[in-house]
Amino acid sequence: MRGFTWKNQSKFTDPGAARAMIDELPADLAALREASSQLVFHYRGDGDWAENGVPAERAGEIDTRYADEMFALLLSRGEPTLARKRMPPDRVVGCCRDATLLFVSLARHKGIPARMRVGFAAYFHPGLLIDHVVAEAWDEAAGRWRLIDGEMGSDWTPEMDGHPVDWMDLADDQFVTGPRAWQAARAGTSDPERHLTAPGLDAPELRGWPLLARHVIHDLVALNKTEMLVWDAWGMQLGIDAGPVAEQDAVLLDEICAHPADPGVSPDVVAALADRDELRVPATVTSFDPYGGPPREVTLRA
């Protein structure tokens, strides 16, 4: 069956001791998405920390990269269940990557093939494609991969072109994966400057070509079940700065994108691409600080 490899947990999505609590949830994608949407307090997007009762000393939770550690924090706050509405103080400080990681962990625990996709959402700011991470889950009945936003609350239903965005089934123009975004920019059908981390963020390396290039690589390794923090960097990424991407790197990215842009790409092809010297995730990566502090070297779990 297509997607069989993505049934199994990675070292990042393994829920550890939280398995028993996940067992209490229905094996239903909508229920799992609703649960994951209650688990993360977005460090930038969910409002004032103090007003929401989130202590400032929790800022470091943004670098929690493993699901078992996130679940442990969550289950230590308030009623120890995943099947409830959580107020901000009971959530873990994180971002879209973390909500997606937790959704993927929930789905895989239920035997549903699921994987992380790194790319750009069109539903946050009209006319812009904003840095975002969602999930893809295998819909057995429909025989296809379905894009699911595991972070957004059910009470927010934005519209695009007069149609509500369905968090359970995002259209291709509502969320654009890193490979498809790169291909469109290279073909001249999408302006690279539309792709950015956040409007008003004065950081040239976090928009346009550099961001597009990084998202190609992060999407590839996420498909290969190495679900990194979005501010981790390694290999050729460390040589990508503000401005155009070097042509030799761009040609390599063109070659990569020809495969994961297709939802039906095989795990073997993904694994072979992710094992190339320029792209392979090493034991130690450089992790940048989303709050603006100095980068640090982080050794991953074996």
The per-residue pLDDT for 3 is 45
Q: In the structure encoding, which two tokens stand for residue 201, read together?
A: 């963020």
Region of residue 47 (left: phi > 0; alpha: psi -120 to 50; beta: else): left
Q: Print the SS3 string covering the chain.
A: CCCHHHHCCCCCCCCHHHHHHHHCCCCCHHHHHHHHCCCEEECCCCCCCCCCCCCHHHHHHHHCCCHHHHHHHHHCCCCCCCCCCCCHHHCEEECHHHHHHHHHHHHHHCCCCEEEEEEEECCCCCCCEEEEEEEEEEECCCCEEEEECCCCCCCCCCEECCEECCCCCCCCCCEEEHHHHHHHHHHCCCCHHHEECCCCCCCHHHEHHHHHHHHHHHHHHHHCCCCCCCCEECHHHHHCCCCCCCHHHHHHHHHHHCCCCCCCCCHHHHHHHHCCCCCCCCCEEEECCCCCCCCEEEECCC
Q: How far apart are the C-alpha atoms of 67 and 172, rounded to whole Å? A: 28
**What CA–CA distance (Å, rounded) separates 91 from 69?**
13
108 close to 5: Cβ distance less than 8 angstroms: no
- The answer to whether residues 31 and 88 touch, using CB atoms and an 8 Å cutoff, is no
First vs last C-alpha separation in the chain: 29
User: φ and ψ at 168, to 5 degrees?
Assistant: -90, -10
Residue with tokens 């390694």: 234
Q: What is the pLDDT of residue 202?
A: 83
What is the spatial distance between Cα 151 and Cα 167, in angstroms, rounded to a whole number?
A: 9
- Residue 121 is predicted with a pLDDT of 98
Say if residues 277 and 249 touch (Cβ distance below 8 Å): no
> Which segments of the chain have a pLDDT < 50?
1-3
Which two three-digit tokens encode residue 244?
């155009």
Q: pTM for this one?
A: 0.96
Nearest to 238 by CA among 271, 185, 281: 281
- Convert the pLDDT of each residue in 2-24 to its tens digit: 445 899 999 999 999 999 999 99
What angle, rounded to 10 degrees, do the helices at 208-223 and 178-187 form?
140
